[in-house]
């Protein structure tokens, strides 16, 4: 993370990173997402179920180790969590050097991965605005101290195809990570004052603090919007996936077995890998 990026992240609460992934990686991830979407849609209603402490009722796939909730109907979204277990093509994102350099610039101490979701947003869908000051929940706060930026949860979104505003762009209200009062505007990102749709190209990434007001404007296009979201935070923060909220991260034995120690450490809150 260079000084300009650090300044902009502190000022705005997010940065857009051009060309984060090369075209081969984009193609490989896009194919893996398409295959996983097809598998997840076939299994959406199947047992076994995992009810999120936040309410939604997820399918836990016994073969591929993911959790899925949602629908592919118009206006709906499908969210696939713990996708690492499903396909080793996602491993390029586990301990990716460029990503970890950015995370090291905004999370102090040892950082771990606390969130992993593929968002598939069909025509008519929007992601409601959230984030910003929540008096009842300081878990995702944004801070700054003598050592610099001190974030709790942050997310990197990887884009595997171009996304314009009308294709359901990820959106933010710049600077709201520093607000002190609850947002009075409800949850419609198309209407929220100051909300900016961030248009990107395949291979770009967006890094943001979860304390920033953000969402996804309505997908008014024929293109289904597919993005890969990975959350990070201090090592003591447990899973922030909805299906496994505040539990240990859901990583299967076979996934751990194919990773090296540094990759495994990213999913071990409280522990360092054995040397």
Ligand X SMILES: O=C(O)CCC(=O)C(=O)O
The one among 65, 105, 216, 233 contacting ligand X by CB under 6 A? 216
| Among positions 61, 99, 116, 127, the unique one binding ligand X when judged by CB under 6 A | 127
Please identify, using beta-carbon distances, which residue of 111 and 205 lies nearer to ligand X: 205
For ligand X, the closer of residues 59 and 229 by Cβ is 229
Separation of alpha carbons 202 and 27, rounded Å: 9
**Number of residues binding to ligand X, judged by CB under 6 A:** 9
Among 59, 60, 213, 214, the residue binding ligand X under the rule CB under 6 A is 214
Is residue 65 involved in binding ligand X (CB under 6 A)? no
Nearest-approach distance from CB 132 to ligand X, in angstroms: 12
Of 123, 229, 264, 268, the one binding ligand X by CB under 6 A: 229
Q: Which is nearer to ligand X, 59 or 155 (CB)?
A: 155
User: Taking contact as CB under 6 A, which single stretch among the options 61-69, 98-106, 212-220, 249-257 is the one that binds ligand X?
Assistant: 212-220
Report the alpha-carbon distance of residue 31 to residue 80 in Å, rounded: 15
Q: How far is the CB of 275 from ligand X (least distance, A)?
A: 34
Among the listed residues 50, 155, 226, 264, the single contact to ligand X using CB under 6 A: 155
Burial 130-167 (b: 16+ CB within 10 A, else e): ebbbeeeeeebbbeeeeeebbbbbbbbbbbbbebebeb
Residue 119 in the binding site for ligand X (CB under 6 A):
yes
Rule CB under 6 A: is residue 60 a binding residue for ligand X?
A: no
* Both tokens assigned to 73: 């109907």
**Closest CB 3 distance from ligand X, rounded Å:** 26
Nearer to ligand X, 4 or 54 (CB): 54
Instruction: Find all residues with CB under 8 Å of 211, minimum gap 6, and list them.
Output: 13, 131, 132, 133, 140, 141, 142, 151, 152, 177
Min dist. Cβ of residue 104 to ligand X (A): 20
Binder among 66, 84, 102, 170 for ligand X (CB under 6 A): 170
Comparing CB distances to ligand X, the nearer of 177 and 264 is 177
Q: In the β-sheet with 67-70, what is the strand arrangement from edge to edge?
A: 14-17, 205-209, 154-159, 225-234, 111-121, 77-81, 67-70, 57-60, 49-51
The Cα–Cα gap between 267 and 232 comes to 10
Work out how close the CB of 106 gets to ligand X at its nearest, in angstroms, rounded to a whole number: 16
Concatenating the DSSP letter of every residue in 162-220 gives -B-TTBT-EEE-TTGGG--S--SSTT-TTTSTT-EE--B-TT-EEEEETTS-EEE--B-
Token code pair at residue 183: 């947002």
Cis peptide bond upstream of 48, omega within 30: yes
Residues that bind ligand X (CB under 6 A): 119, 127, 155, 170, 214-216, 227, 229
């Amino acid at each position: 993370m260079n000084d300009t990026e650090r300044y902009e992240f502190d000022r705005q609460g997010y940065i857009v990173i051009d060309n984060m992934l090369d075209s081969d990686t984009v193609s490989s991830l896009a194919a893996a997402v398409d295959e996983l979407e097809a598998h997840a849609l076939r299994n959406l209603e199947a047992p076994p179920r995992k009810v999120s402490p936040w309410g939604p009722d997820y399918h836990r796939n016994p073969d591929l180790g993911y959790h899925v909730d949602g629908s592919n109907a118009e206006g709906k979204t499908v969210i696939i969590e713990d996708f690492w277990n499903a396909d080793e093509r996602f491993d390029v994102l586990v301990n990716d050097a460029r990503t970890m350099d950015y995370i090291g610039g905004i999370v102090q101490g040892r950082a771990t991965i606390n969130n992993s979701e593929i968002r598939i947003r069909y025509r008519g869908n929007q992601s409601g605005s959230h984030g910003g000051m929540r008096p009842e929940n300081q878990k995702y706060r944004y801070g700054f101290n003598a050592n610099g930026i001190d974030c709790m949860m942050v997310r990197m979104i990887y884009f595997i195809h171009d996304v314009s505003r009308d294709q359901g762009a990820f959106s933010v209200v710049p600077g709201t990570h520093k607000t002190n009062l609850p947002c009075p505007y409800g949850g419609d990102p198309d209407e929220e004052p100051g909300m900016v749709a961030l248009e990107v190209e395949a291979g770009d990434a967006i890094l943001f603090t979860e304390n920033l007001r953000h969402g996804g404007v309505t997908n008014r296009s024929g293109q289904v919007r597919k993005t890969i979201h990975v959350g990070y935070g201090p090592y003591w923060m447990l899973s922030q996936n909805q299906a496994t909220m505040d539990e240990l991260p859901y990583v299967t034995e076979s996934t751990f077995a194919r990773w090296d120690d540094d990759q495994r450490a990213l999913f071990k809150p409280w522990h360092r890998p054995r040397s």
